[in-house]
Structure 1
Amino acid sequence: MESPRSSQAQALSYGEVKRAVERVAGHVRPVTVAPAEPGASGHGHELFLALEFLQHTGSFKARGAWNFLRAHAEAGTLPDAGVTIASGGNAGLACAWAAREQGVRATVFLPVTAPKVKVDRLVGYGAEVRLVGTEYAEALAACETFAARSGALASHAYDHPLIAAGAGTLLEEIHARVPDLDTVVVSVGGGGLFAGVATAARQHGIRTVAVEPERCRALDAALEAGTPVDVPVDSVAADSLGARRASAAALHAALQDGVRSVLVPDDEIVRVRRALWDDRRLAVEHAAATALAALPHAYRPSPGEKVCVVLCGANTDPTDLVADV
């Protein structure tokens, strides 16, 4: 059995996404793609919403976590100490869920700023939770030290080919439901979802639009510098999109034909999240609203263009949405 590939490799291949499709089949929830009502976009394009927040653990991260652990199980490289990960929340939830389902011990490191709803759910999945630092980078350093000392398998929230390939399975399902899709729009933190989706989208001739908050612009800064660089993190969506540095795989994907990178302001993210609740009764994270916030100003589709926006997660405290209802 081929050993899982190192996180050092930059370019993700479509073959890796296809292998992930085989591993996750029957273990993750197939995505629901809902067409918006005619005229909902108001700008002449056709809009679809990929409701990936209905996924196990409430986000797309379940796909990559399952693929990562299953690939290591197939290769015989799962240690007795189990798996460990540093996460702002969603990746940790997914890792803990996949570990429980596959009978693997999980230790999850989060910054102390992680939402309580995510911490509580981690405990519910049976993971050992350790809160360290105020930013993801600090939790990651503690996780790396733990892995070195304990021998646990170190996973990653986004920067690993197995994680990105697992995320790419989402695009394969979207394409199956809308075969003539023109454009897929995804929010970007560290770039795992984007790298996987863009790799699969390119295979099918689908444009990918990568959307970041103006104050969490790791991919945009990497494109500007020509290499991944550290950026400040200060956005309403930072709990999910607050990576200080984009992955090399994300940068590689962003440099390919058929990819656009755009930024959106926090006030627009907040407005769109509120509108998703008010108009559709969808309670999603700010990270999910970030993708939709790109339309129609940061990214303006052409008339007749078929666009699918990925609503990637719903691990949020909805009280700010429902308190005045």
Structure 2
Amino acid sequence: MSLHIETPLLESRPLSMLAGRSVWLKLEAVQPSGSFKIRGIGHACVEHHRRGAKRFISSSGGNAGLAVAYAGRRLGVAVTVAVPETATERAKELLRQEGAEVLVRGDSWQETNQFALTLLGPGDAFLHPFDDPLIWQGHATLVDELAGAGCKPDAIVLSVGGGGLLSGVAEGLRRHGWNDVPLLAVETEGAASFRAAVDAGQTVALARIDSIAATLGAKRVCEQALRCAREHPVRSLLTTDLDALDACERFLADHRVLVEPACGAALAPLYQRAPELADFDKILAIVCGGATATLEQIRAWAGR
């Protein structure tokens, strides 16, 4: 059973003209839960359900929590989602729409996650937002779809938060023997835990997250993401909050799809014509999505 859908793959005329090269989009923003997260989390939920789980527990007020809530509703499994005090009212409303119990605890995701772990009882399954081999296996299906469509890019641009998407896409590339396709891993400057890990040669915890791209706000990336950077060609790119927000607005105008700043981060190098793209003729951008962003909020952030 699969809870995600095969998403559209299309060539972006506006971005191709701007970049002077062929730019393709994998539109994960149209997944049922609003983001790519349902690929990996849906796969993990199906497996835990098969093993007899009676409740799913999550520690995310963002896309991961929404994916767990959607999966639980589809599978008929109760869901409890712990969210930090910074979670937006829209995020909590969307979680409740999916039938999830929402508990507000902690000032940061790390505190919320520790609280969520205390809820675990017999018959419960914990769904980590990004650090789980089952999740990486699910995310790898994105590359299966590219291969099925005969679309092998010269490079793939994606956002990095905790590293789950990067880990899954790298697994999918290995599966299809596409080890020559580099990943351009983009973070905002205030949430660059992957860059910090690459520079240090080991995962390190950021002192704080200073970025409006909240869903990129993992203080430490998973070990698997750093392992992927050692075993696969991965380039770390940084962008600013303002460029990520600008990319959200421009992408909405170009493609009539609203994405959150964490997704705008991956689009920003394309809109800003980053020099790191010059080596590639055919680029695929993963439009990872984001259900909790609103245009008003994006414009308010940009105004700040």
Which aligned pairs between 1:18-97 and structure 2 lie closer than 5 A? 23-24=1-2, 27-37=3-13, 40-74=16-50, 76=51, 78-80=52-54, 82-97=55-70
Equivalent pairs counted in the alignment come to 293
Look up the match of 2:250.
275
> How large is the Cα RMSD of the aligned pairs?
2.0
Look up the match of 2:151.
179
Look up the match of 2:224.
249
Tell me which amino acid in the other structure corresponds to 1:84: I
Counterpart of 2:274 (choices 270, 273, 297) is 297
5+ residue gaps, structure 2, are none
Distance (Å, rounded) in 1 between the aligned partners of 2:239 and 2:33: 26
Contact conserved, 1:44 with 1:302, CA < 8 A, in 2? no
Look up the match of 1:168.
140
Shift of 1:217: 0.8
Which aligned pairs between 1:205-244 and structure 2 lie closer than 5 A? 205-231=180-206, 232-238=208-214, 240-244=215-219
Contact conserved, 1:269 with 1:286, CA < 8 A, in 2? yes
Q: Please, what TM-score do these two structures have when normalized by structure 2?
A: 0.90
Deviation string 1:259-292 (CA, Å, 9 cap, x unpaired) is 1111111111111111112333221111111101
Shift of 1:94: 0.3
Contact conserved, 2:69 with 2:98, CA < 8 A, in 1? yes
Q: 1:39 to 1:319 in 2, by over 3 A?
A: closer
Distance (Å, rounded) in 2 between the aligned partners of 1:29 and 1:90: 16
- SS of 2:40's equivalent in the other structure is helix
Shift of 1:145: 1.1
Distance (Å, rounded) in 2 between the aligned partners of 1:269 and 1:292: 7
Shift of 1:88: 3.6
Tell me which amino acid in the other structure corresponds to 1:166: G
5+ residue gaps, structure 1, are 1-22
Distance (Å, rounded) in 2 between the aligned partners of 1:224 and 1:256: 16
Counterpart of 2:131 (choices 150, 153, 159) is 159
- SS of 2:81's equivalent in the other structure is strand
- SS of 1:255's equivalent in the other structure is helix
Look up the match of 1:9.
none
Deviation string 1:220-253 (CA, Å, 9 cap, x unpaired) is 1111222211112111111x11111100111111
Q: 1:293 to 1:322 in 2, by over 3 A?
A: closer
Contact conserved, 2:260 with 2:290, CA < 8 A, in 1? yes
- SS of 2:235's equivalent in the other structure is strand
